[in-house]
Amino acid sequence: MKFFRDSHRIVVKFGTSTLTHSTGHLNLRRIEGLVKVLSDIKNSGKQVVIVSSGAVSAGVAKVGFGTIPRTPEEKQAMAAIGQSELMKIYDKFFSTYGHTVAQILMTKDVLTNPIRRAAAENTFNRLLEMNCIPIVNENDSISTDELTKFGGNDILSAYVAEVCHADLLLNLSDIDGLYDSDPRKNPDARLIDRVDVIDDAIYSIAGGAGTDRGTGGMVAKLKAAELCTSEGIPMFILNGHDPEILYTLLDGGHVGTYFSAKKKDAEND
């Protein structure tokens, strides 16, 4: 398979369950592993954009809140605390490998307002030209309504891939990919290598929500796949618990579930 090796601009999304322990605190070993592999991928000549969750969880853990925030205001406050914690760690780890990170916090109205959208596109382009690694999250602290909220980072990552004109979206989750039934309940569940059409049959095999610390789940990932593949951007769902599997893709192998792009199939096959 050529699509990873031939992709220049790659958006990589990590979920809260990939970035944090069950305590809510950041999983430093995992983050360091991801940062090392992504630094290497960047060193190989690719452009990398990260969509990172984990702000709310890190905020809760940092202030010892001890429980999932109950009100939107509590959640927004936790996101504000955790976001700076997250960026501090990314900056520290990426600096070790000689890379510069840049924070971008998105609200959904950026997509519908042509001036703001153009500004976002220009900023991404400029940062990538400057060899930086943009790290994106939803601006949880101020996104409160339908107009501003993406409704989770799976959806956000698909829009970021679109705004960045990415060649590929990698959705790193706590599961190996899309299975034909729930692998947590059915030991014979089979991993689906490739999906070309995201229809009701595909949605019907996607289970419910993700962990209690993230908002994702397979349905959100399928919606993200639908969004970006319809814009001509293929997507993988991969298990982020072993960041080194990204090397398998880089070397032309196949891992996870691949969702082919609608417009560029001929180029991707």
Contacts with ligand GLU by CB under 6 A lie at 15-16, 53-57, 79, 137-138, 140, 152-153, 214-216
Task: Provide, rounded to whole angstroms, the least separation between the CB of residue 56 and ligand GLU.
Answer: 3
Min CB(249)–ligand GLU separation in Å: 23
Complex with ligand GLU: residue 7 or 18, whichever CB lies closer: 18
What is the closest distance, in whole angstroms, from the C-beta atom of residue 263 to ligand GLU in the complex?
27
Closer to ligand GLU by Cβ: residue 53 or 257: 53
Closer to ligand GLU by Cβ: residue 9 or 213: 213
Measured from the CB atom, the residue of 54 and 134 that comes closer to ligand GLU is: 54
Distance CA 97, CA 204 (A): 43
Q: What is the closest distance, in whole angstroms, from the C-beta atom of residue 156 to ligand GLU in the complex?
A: 7
Q: Do 175 and 160 touch, CB atoms closer than 8 A?
A: no
Give ∠ CA 119-123-129 in degrees, rounded to 5.
Answer: 145
Q: What is the dihedral of CA 21, 175, 227, 79, to 10 degrees?
A: -10
User: Which candidate, 230, 217, 226, places its Cα nearest to that of 265?
Assistant: 230
In the beta sheet, which residues pair with residue 239? 173
Give the shortest CB-214-to-ligand GLU separation in angstroms. 4
137 vs 257 by CB, closer to ligand GLU:
137
- The position carrying tokens 């059409």 is 197
Residue closer to ligand GLU (CB basis): 138 or 167: 138
Per the listing, tokens 């419910």 go with 208
Minimum distance from CB of 158 to ligand GLU (Å)?
A: 12
254 φψ region: left (φ > 0), alpha (ψ -120 to 50), beta (else): beta
Q: Where do we find the tokens 């890379």?
A: 99
Rounded CA-CA distance 23/134 in Å is 27
Identify the burial level of 210 via C-beta atoms within 10 angstroms of its C-beta, where 0-12 means exposed, 13-18 middle and 19 or more buried: buried
